Structure 1
Amino acid sequence: MKDLTLGPDAVEWLGTQYLPILTTAETDGAMSITDSVSPPASGPPRHIHHDADEAFVVLTGDVEFWLEGESFLRGPGQTAFIPRGREHTFRIVGEKPSRHLIILTPGGFEGFFADMARGAFRIPEDMAQIEESAKRHQLSFTGPPLGAEEDAS
């Protein structure tokens, strides 16, 4: 995604753009909100945020969420809540990108997106560096992204 839909202050990692719109510093650590645009079929590996609750507000596109074995779909105007300590992931479904807000409480996780963009890290080639930043941000990777099993067959 070379066109920075979210503007010149956005960072990009693996085709997804991230723009912090409410930072940890602005909330004295209470929370952060990141505006994000993700391309079709994209999504992170399964993971756990050990110290933060996460909420998504889907603005455009459709997003399939997976939360500890249960899948559910959210579209524009809908939300998903992921309690801290729960294994989860998501992927963009359909042929259009998704724009969504990522809200984490407490804040601090926007630093992970900045680390990833700055390092231009790739999965799986750069997992050692990715996991180093993940550990600093109380994140553990637990499995493949949604669709990885289908892609492998």
Structure 2
Amino acid sequence: MDQMLNDAKSHHWNGVIYRTLLDGAGSGGAMSIVDSVSPPNSGPPRHVHDAEDEAFVILTGRCLFWLEGETFERGPGTAVFVPRGKEHTFQVIGDEPSRHLVILTPPGFENFFCEMAAGGFLIPQDMDAIEESAARHSLRFTGPPLGAEQGA
């Protein structure tokens, strides 16, 4: 993880570190792979990817996933598949960060993370700008992050 913190290819947004390991050019347009480190209690608002299937491979830490109304935990050595068009989110649970690979097919969505980091956008303060970029990347926000309903 220390390498990711100081790597010029890493992007930092809202406490999360993103590093694209494989992009569309490197995969012949087949997929992208993003190495991500998320701090405890972090996670995105509920959302839908209209153009990409998304898979998470959990390397460290634990995550609580919400997929189409079902909640389940995953830890190191496990994976979660989210088909395009399915509403989902996750939250890092426990005291340690979660390092996970995000595999996207087809590629392209990894550029959303780059735009967010470059703009330094904050959730919820900059949601208009975030939603504008999200729309360009076939992403729709559909609800709050996990825990927000209870004021956590």
TM tier relative to shorter chain: over 0.9
For the residues of structure 2 that align with 1:67 and 1:50, how far apart are their CA atoms?
15
The reply to whether residue 136 of structure 1 matches residue 132 of structure 2 is no
For the residues of structure 2 that align with 1:131 and 1:100, how far apart are their CA atoms?
24
The residue that corresponds to 1:42 in the other structure is: 42
5+ residue gaps, structure 1, are none
The residue that corresponds to 1:92 in the other structure is: 92
For the residues of structure 1 that align with 2:120 and 2:48, how far apart are their CA atoms?
22
For the residues of structure 1 that align with 2:37 and 2:2, how far apart are their CA atoms?
9
Quick check: 1:53–1:106 contact (8 Å CA) kept in 2?
yes
Identity level (%): 61
**Per-residue deviation, 1:28:** 2.7
The residue that corresponds to 1:105 in the other structure is: 105
For the residues of structure 2 that align with 1:85 and 1:135, how far apart are their CA atoms?
14
Alpha carbons of structure 1 residues 53 and 41: separation in structure 2 relative to 1, 3 Å: same
The code of the aligned residue for 2:125 comes to E
For the residues of structure 1 that align with 2:24 and 2:133, how far apart are their CA atoms?
17
Quick check: 1:62–1:94 contact (8 Å CA) kept in 2?
yes
The code of the aligned residue for 1:81 comes to F
3-state SS of paired residue (2:84): coil
For the residues of structure 2 that align with 1:132 and 1:81, how far apart are their CA atoms?
26
Residue deviations 1:28-57 (CA, integer Å, cap 9, x gap):
321100000000000000000001100000
5+ residue gaps, structure 2, are none
Quick check: 1:4–1:10 contact (8 Å CA) kept in 2?
no
The residue that corresponds to 1:13 in the other structure is: 13
For the residues of structure 2 that align with 1:15 and 1:5, how far apart are their CA atoms?
16
Residue deviations 1:62-99 (CA, integer Å, cap 9, x gap):
01100010001000000000000000000000010000
3-state SS of paired residue (1:26): coil
The code of the aligned residue for 1:78 comes to T
Q: Aligned-residue CA RMSD in angstroms?
A: 1.2
**Per-residue deviation, 1:5:** 4.9
Quick check: 1:59–1:76 contact (8 Å CA) kept in 2?
yes
3-state SS of paired residue (2:29): coil
TM-score when normalising by structure 1: 0.95
The code of the aligned residue for 1:50 comes to D
For the residues of structure 2 that align with 1:44 and 1:4, how far apart are their CA atoms?
23
**Per-residue deviation, 1:27:** 1.6
The code of the aligned residue for 1:45 comes to P
The runs of at least 4 consecutive aligned structure 1 residues that moved more than 2 Å come to none
3-state SS of paired residue (1:18): strand
For the residues of structure 2 that align with 1:108 and 1:139, how far apart are their CA atoms?
12
